[in-house]
A and B are shown apart, each in its own frame.
Chain A
Amino acid sequence: MSVLLAVLWKDLLVEWRSRDRVAAMGVFSLLVVVMFQFAAPPGASPESRAHLPGLLWVAWLFAAILGLNRSFALELENDAWAGLALAPADRGWIYLGKALAALVLLLAVQLASAVAFGLAFAVPLAPVAAPLAGVTLLGALGISAIGTLFAAVAARTQYREAMLPLLLLPLLVPVLLGAVRATAALLAQEPLPWPPLRLLLVTDAVFLIVSFLCFEYVLDE
């Protein structure tokens, strides 16, 4: 447990001193949204507005991948990786520390870009803020949970940054599916539907357990 807190504190402190990961993720997620305005202008019709939740989550997903790549690229510098691997503790806790740090950073980016998104598209987010925050938390948890595991894998392959999206995107579809459907229902002022929520909960639990158990085999030397 103390290992978890130590790793979490270290990652957040490193980020607080440079703030480059959050800045890169935030600017990138805004860029994705802006690029979509040129690629497929949503217009004002209700049908085109139905795509907004998907657009938002894709932007967050890409931003998360950008941040996750840094998560372990950081450890490769100055051989910090060896320090982590040599820590006399269950590596599952190291994993949880890294994953929680990734989650905190992703949530910070999501909060900022959700506000910008709500203003830019005139989406009233305030009335559904509480359930939306819950859905966002569940989605971000799934992304960080499995993302941290495979960020560690991708960092040790030949193609590093290019490998992570290849590994992660197909696995994250259940998270994306659940999060987009729940968000779409909330933005349409409907009650929160249970099936996508259940999908998110189950996927998060599976990803957390698998990653907690498997991280030991990924972090070596």
Chain B
Amino acid sequence: MSDPAGETGLDALARRAVRPTGWLLALLLPLWLFVAAQAPLDSVQGVVQKILYVHVPCAFAAYLGFACTAVGGALYLWRREEHWDRFAASSAEVGVLFCALVIATGPIWARASWGRWWSWDLRLTVTLLLFLVYLSYLLLRSFTEGSERTARFAAVYGIAGLAIVPLNYLAIDLAGGRSIHPENLQRGSLGPGMRAPFWLGVGTALLAFAHLLARRVELAALGERAAARAAAAEAGEAP
């Protein structure tokens, strides 16, 4: 590590990414809302089908967040640079947020479509599980607070936790036709006029993810540098 109070390349990248992603998001979000509102109504489900444009993009953003946690953890173990640990922890937090949105929007649709809020279906259960894996990740971080082990242990857990993500995506096939959750999207399974709002939603969610991640990394870097400065000031005063 170079200067403890200095800014690393990744921190600078995050700081510089905050504004452009923010502006782009401010443009894309109303556009997506407009396109989603204009999209044709589903002939069977009616207006509640539109929750697809939020639910699935948020799931993609959550997957991306957990993948970033594993990648950041692996890079930390390899390079031993603190900023990769901040990156991993930040993306886990943002991923948990998007996962919570998935779990919150699902039941609204389920209530209208299945007649009940929740079903102990394999897909739903594994999504809840994914949420719990990353809550455990954050708990592990807080239970090892203040030691250099935090970053190493969290990195290992983040890498192992990634094993649950494919299980989540494949849960519908695994349930062998017994799942009541709609199937994964395949080519052409979206009706005419639904493709644009869906992919626009995916773009918006991923951009929102990038923006929040950049902000969180920037905040973590500032916190780190503030702590380093405070420690340096204390060391200077002590003698």
Using a CB–CB cutoff of 8 Å, the interface residues on chain A facing chain B are 146, 149-150, 153, 156-159, 163, 166-167, 170-171, 173-174, 177, 195, 199, 203, 206-207, 210-211, 214, 217-218, 220
B140 touches A170 (CB 8 A): no
A157 touches B163 (CB 8 A): no
State the total of A-B contacts with C-beta under 8 angstroms. Answer: 71
B143 touches A157 (CB 8 A): yes
B164 touches A170 (CB 8 A): yes
- For the complex, what is the distance from the CA of A145 to the CA of B129, rounded to whole Å? 20
Chain B interface category by residue count: 20 to 34
- What are 16 sample pairs from A and B whose C-beta atoms fall under 8 A apart? A146-B160, A149-B156, A157-B149, A159-B143, A163-B143, A173-B164, A173-B167, A174-B163, A174-B167, A195-B174, A199-B174, A203-B163, A206-B163, A210-B159, A217-B155, A218-B153
B129 / chain A contacts, CB cutoff of 8 Å: 170, 173
A195 touches B164 (CB 8 A): no
- Select B156's contact among A157, A203, A207, A217, beta carbons within 8 Å: A217
- For the complex, what is the distance from the CA of A173 to the CA of B129, rounded to whole Å? 8
B49 / chain A contacts, CB cutoff of 8 Å: none
B70 to chain A, nearest CB (A): 10
A195 touches B144 (CB 8 A): no
DSSP majority for the B interface? Answer: helix
A217 / chain B contacts, CB cutoff of 8 Å: 77, 152, 155-156
- For the complex, what is the distance from the CA of A156 to the CA of B149, rounded to whole Å? 8
- For the complex, what is the distance from the CA of A197 to the CA of B18, rounded to whole Å? 46
Interface status of B126 (Cβ within 8 A of chain A)? yes
Interface residues of B in 138-169 (CB under 8 A from A): 139-140, 143-144, 149, 152-153, 155-157, 159-161, 163-164, 167
- Select A170's contact among B132, B152, B155, B156, beta carbons within 8 Å: B132
B132 / chain A contacts, CB cutoff of 8 Å: 170
B152 touches A210 (CB 8 A): no
Using a CB–CB cutoff of 8 Å, the interface residues on chain B facing chain A are 77, 126, 129, 132-133, 136, 139-140, 143-144, 149, 152-153, 155-157, 159-161, 163-164, 167, 174, 176
- For the complex, what is the distance from the CA of A46 to the CA of B122, rounded to whole Å? 23
Interface centre among A167, A199, A211, A218 (most CB of B within 10 A): A167
- Select B136's contact among A149, A159, A167, A195, beta carbons within 8 Å: A167
- For the complex, what is the distance from the CA of A169 to the CA of B22, rounded to whole Å? 38
- For the complex, what is the distance from the CA of A3 to the CA of B100, rounded to whole Å? 45
A196 to chain B: closest residue by CB: B174
B153 touches A210 (CB 8 A): no
B126 / chain A contacts, CB cutoff of 8 Å: 173
B163 / chain A contacts, CB cutoff of 8 Å: 171, 174, 203, 206-207, 210
B152 / chain A contacts, CB cutoff of 8 Å: 217-218, 220
